[in-house]
Amino acid sequence: MEIIRSFVAIELPADLKEQIDAYQKQLKRFCKSVRWVNSQSLHVTLKFLGNREKDLVERVRQNLQVTEGMFEGFRITIRNFGAFPGKRSPRVFWLGVDSEPRESLFELFVSIENKLHSLGFEKEKRRFSPHLTLARVKKPERFDALWNFAEKHPFEPYSFAVKEFVLMQSFLKPDGAVYKPIQKYSL
């Protein structure tokens, strides 16, 4: 039985990934015990599906086709460097994601949640908080210099039109995950 690791996401434009890469390089000098995400693999996750049987992933692929054309395209803006659960004891560093109109991204997320719930996927218990994961903290350290730098040098906001989302397969490799689109869905 073939198992596929997958998720549903919005891909980012190449020039945004370059801008994020440059920002990550500036931040890296303030962090010792942080594992940075390769900027080329960044995306806005809408639903993580995990390791599932190939047949179920095929049903997901078909089920998501129903959403094609149900939503109008919208814009998202990447801005604001932050951390989960917060600045004092961060475990994840991120850039925030806002949509215009504001409710568009949330409505797409809810639609995908509902479609996949009908296939047996659990609904997300945490509040939807769209973001780009820049890095994961491996062990606690003081990040005062990082926060001072980020305050004085905020990430330059970047907006782009969202016209599709994608069902993506994830391959875990020693130097980070590699992603391959299974299917793209137009808005």
Closest of 164, 181, 168 to residue 68, by C-alpha: 164
Selecting among 131, 136, 149, 160, the annotated active-site residue is 131
- 131 an active-site residue? yes
Active site residue 153: no
Which tokens belong to 83?
């951390």
Annotated active-site residue in 17, 43, 47, 115:
43
User: CA 121 to CA 47: how far, in whole Å?
Assistant: 10
Contact status, residue 91 vs residue 84, Cβ threshold 8 Å: yes
Query: Are 150 and 66 in contact, with CB atoms under 8 Å apart?
Result: no
Contact 115, 61 (CB under 8 A): no
Radius of gyration of the chain (CA): 17
DSSP code, position 41 = G
Residues with active-site annotation: 43, 131
